[in-house]
Amino acid sequence: MTVREIIDDLINDLPSYAQTDQNIVCDCVLKAKRIVFLDTCFIVRLKYFELEQLRKLMDRILLNYDPSQIVFVITELILYESRDDRSNRIKDYFRDIISIAEAKSVRFLLLQEEALYKCIMPYSNYSVEEWNNLFIYRLSENKSNLIKITGLIKSDSHNPACSLFVESEKKLKNRDFIGKTIEQLKERKKSEDSLAEELICVLIFFLFEGFVNTQKKKIYFCSSDNKALAKLKKAISSSYCNCASNFENIHLFSLTQYMISQGILTDKASVNMILKNAMASKVLVTEKKELPFCESDQIMSLEQVIDGIFEGKQYSYKGNSP
């Protein structure tokens, strides 16, 4: 089966509450004040939380935001990565996450990567040609951050952008160029590559071009993949530094710290079980200090870090111990 055929089967298997109509999905994304993108590894590790803990987390989030102001978004490739490989069905914990959103009247959206820019175009001042050239330019300046995308394009002699790193400008008037390019990229998806995360980065670029240069809107990227987080943040800071305040990373580690601070997680053993599935036994962290004291990186065991969090300390996770 092709990637597209598998995705279509998965869409048919999604609970009905998950919105898949792309006109409605894009409209919800454009109107939302808080857009939360979920990464595959983040979704997978949510299964280690109890459902009641996730419900309390959602309640805590909704103390600050009206349900109509926030949307949770997965892309088609994230759906594809999160499937049961043997049956091509939606996993039970994925259904549980959707049911929690449904119970709290929070939008849960399936976004087709190639659909978003078409919905933004009518609200922008760019022509089709300008959008196409902007797409190429952003990929070209992020060759080191979007390695999978640029590598696939360069290796495809049939793609008009295959020489985008040789020619300084490419006049592309093809209305379907961006959509067709993204569709072709998705069909070349391989197991455990970074294509899904890199395409999320491209979608965030589109959103920044369309409307997010305002403090009223925020985009969040939830992941436990340090490399993906670092590359996405670097791409945004280099290409859209004026929009940096509109973007935030949420790591499973920082989410867990938050849930402890809010009294949602109270048992050290369960926290250890959650984090050990995403982190090594020894990690590199920075303890946040009150000024004038300076911060410094420390190598600590996971148990030491958890003890510190329950004592009220706050850490920034830098990665697993080298």
Q: Could you report the average pLDDT of every consecutive run of 10 residues in the chain (322 residues)?
A: 94 96 94 94 92 95 90 97 90 94 96 93 85 89 91 71 48 76 92 92 91 76 87 89 86 94 94 89 88 84 95 89 70
Query: Which residues in 257-270 are b (16+ Cβ under 10 Å) and which e?
Result: bbbbeeebbeeeee
Q: Within 13 Å, how many C-alpha atoms sit on residue 180's CB side?
A: 11
Read off the tokens for 314: 């706050």
CA–CA separation, 256 vs 258, rounded Å? 5
Read off the tokens for 45: 């590790």
144 burial via Cβ count (<10 Å: 0-12, 13-18, 19+): exposed
CA distances from 44 to 4, 147, 150, 249 (A): 22, 24, 27, 17
Q: Cα–chain-centroid distance for residue 77? A: 11
Residue 161 confidence (pLDDT) = 54
Residue 322 confidence (pLDDT) = 66
Residue 215 confidence (pLDDT) = 65
Tokens 């309390």 belong to 56
Tokens 């959509």 belong to 179
CA distances from 104 to 17, 108, 146, 156, 260 (A): 12, 11, 35, 45, 22
CA–CA separation, 315 vs 308, rounded Å? 9
Is the bond preceding residue 160 a cis peptide, omega within 30 degrees? no
By residue count, the chain amounts to 322
Residue pair 32/211 in contact (Cβ under 8 Å)? The answer is no
Nearest to 101 by CA among 63, 140, 67: 67
Nearest to 91 by CA among 39, 37, 13, 21: 13
The values of phi and psi at residue 310, to 5°, are -70, -20
End-to-end CA distance of the chain: give it in Å, rounded: 40
CA–CA separation, 82 vs 96, rounded Å? 13
Residue 214 confidence (pLDDT) = 64
Read off the tokens for 175: 């209305």
